[in-house]
Amino acid sequence: MKALLLENIHSDAVDALRSRGFEVETRKGALDPQELLTALDGVDLLGIRSKTQVTREVLEAHPQLQAVGAFCIGTNQIDLTAATDTATAVFNAPFSNTRSVVELALGEIIALARHLTDKNAAMHQGVWDKSAKGSHEVRGRTLGIVGYGNIGKQLSVVAEAFGMDVYYYDVVDRLAMGNATKCDSLEQLLGTVETVTLHVDGRESNTNMFGREQFRQMRPRSIFLNLSRGHVVDIAALHEALVSGHLAGAGLDVYPSEPKAAGEPFESPLQGLPNVILTPHVGGSTAEAQENIGEFVSGKLIDYCRYGTTSLSVNFPEVQLDPFIHGTRLLHIHSNVPGVLARVNSTLGEHGINVDRQQLVTKGQMGYMVTDCANGATDEVVAAIKALPETIRVATVS
């Protein structure tokens, strides 16, 4: 089997896949959909980070593609509906780089509260500005977290350990960590806190969720951070709030438009503002996080191809499977309609195949059936199951 890994995925992922017998091709930058159409010829596994867009056209053009690994948290760069329709399993790393993002957020909050960006720039110009004017401790200050998922929750705990009073808002009802206070609306949070940090997902409905109205609702001289997705913030509105002095500072790690590869030019209206920290989408880019992500996602891809395990898949029904030593394991991905189990077992019985163990799990419109056949399964049997009208994909593990 062949794997294609894009966007500088950690070498641990390459080593893990090669040690399991995969042929691995790596590329440093992202590919656009048209480039992917060619690059995926003969590829069974695709590994990407946040910039490569995996569209329906790409997935439908490559029915041999078994799985896509997103070596990051988000999966909005993948058409998940199309992946499900084409029986392409998708895996991501929902936990592996949360600590790295949390530490960057806290570091930027401290830097902006202490005006370290201004002090650093002045020192490099030979100006000794030893003054406490405008500098504050973060202890006792209020932090508002928009999006209380894995990153938001961990940031909540660590910020509280720094002595901050934490408030949060999420469209999903989430349990507070520690002494954090839940807000019933975004407006309530914005009018309460002195620092706002975004940790929302990349769904299309979040586009420009922060614009002029939201910045207007924030308290004067607040700090604003976005380490989530670039398209959730109206950059022109943020620029206006900063230049007017309504916001005291901002830190951004993501942008509506980002270069595809390192070294390419970057432009933003926020460049040159002394109270803004700009970083090149490196929230999860620490050695520890990238190593953890490389190990985690490659492990999920390997387990799916070797055993059929779909644990923590983004779009497949989840099944945790042990290795199957003798015979054949049939993986049947099908439309979730009544009678499929009976038809598969009838087909197996007609060909004299004895079922040793079987699991069927459904999720939405998809059914995932795993059948262990101790006496093996012939190509004729596999072809007969493929021919069932409900079948989307059949794979075997021996």
Active-site positions?
229, 258, 281
Query: What stretch of H or E contains 5?
Result: strand 2-5
Strand runs labelled E in 287-354: 328-335
Do residues 242 and 270 touch, judged by C-beta distance below 8 A?
yes
- Could you tell me which of 335, 356, 345 has the C-alpha nearest to residue 381? 345
- In this structure, the number of other CB atoms found within 10 A of the CB of residue 245 comes to 10
DSSP label of 28: S
Name every residue whose Cβ is closer than 8 Å to that of residue 370 and which is 6 or more positions away in sequence.
Answer: 308, 319, 321, 329, 330, 331, 332, 358, 359, 360
Cβ atoms 268, 235 nearer than 8 A: yes
Residue 283, Cα to own-chain centre: how many angstroms? Answer: 12
* Cα distance between residue 99 and residue 93, in whole Å: 13
Could you tell me which of 312, 397, 284 has the C-alpha nearest to residue 89? 312
Using alpha carbons, list the distances in angstroms from residue 19 to 2, 285, 370.
13, 25, 26
Bridge partners for 249 per DSSP: 223
Classified as helix, coil or strand, 86 is coil
Radius of gyration of the chain (CA): 25
CA distance 13 to 70: 12
Reported as type and span, the H/E element at residue 181 is strand 181-182
- CA distance linking residue 379 with residue 307, whole number of Å: 19
End-to-end CA distance of the chain: 14
Q: How far apart are CA 219 and CA 216, in angstroms?
A: 8
